[in-house]
Amino acid sequence: MPFYTFKCPECKDVKEVLQGMKDSSPLCEKCTKMVPRHIVEMERVFKVNAKPHSKDGSWDFKKEKKEKPK
């Protein structure tokens, strides 16, 4: 099972949770403890995938042409 990142919409607490894809979102423990009977469901955060860095700052993945020595 993978880890998913969740964020509370009210207190902005971020939490990593190990769960299945079809499991329901976890409840925010901080908000539930502060106000009884106040249940806040956390929202899933989608992170950007890491990409390799290029020399010129572009995201062009073509191989750079190397000049042949003369």
Query: pLDDT tens across 8-26, in order?
Result: 999 999 999 998 888 999 9
- 6 pLDDT exceeds 90? yes
pLDDT in tens, 34-45: 877 788 899 998
Distance CA(36)–CA(28), nearest Å, equals 12
DSSP-assigned beta bridge partners for residue 15: 6
Angle at 45 between CA 42 and CA 46, to 5 degrees: 155
Residue 42: per-residue pLDDT: 92
What's the mean pLDDT when you consider all of the chain? 77
Exposure b/e, 6-39, CB count within 10 A at least 16 = b: bebeeeeeeeeeeeeeeeeeeebeebeeeeeeee
Rounded to an integer, the average pLDDT of 36-59 is 70
pTM for the model: 0.60
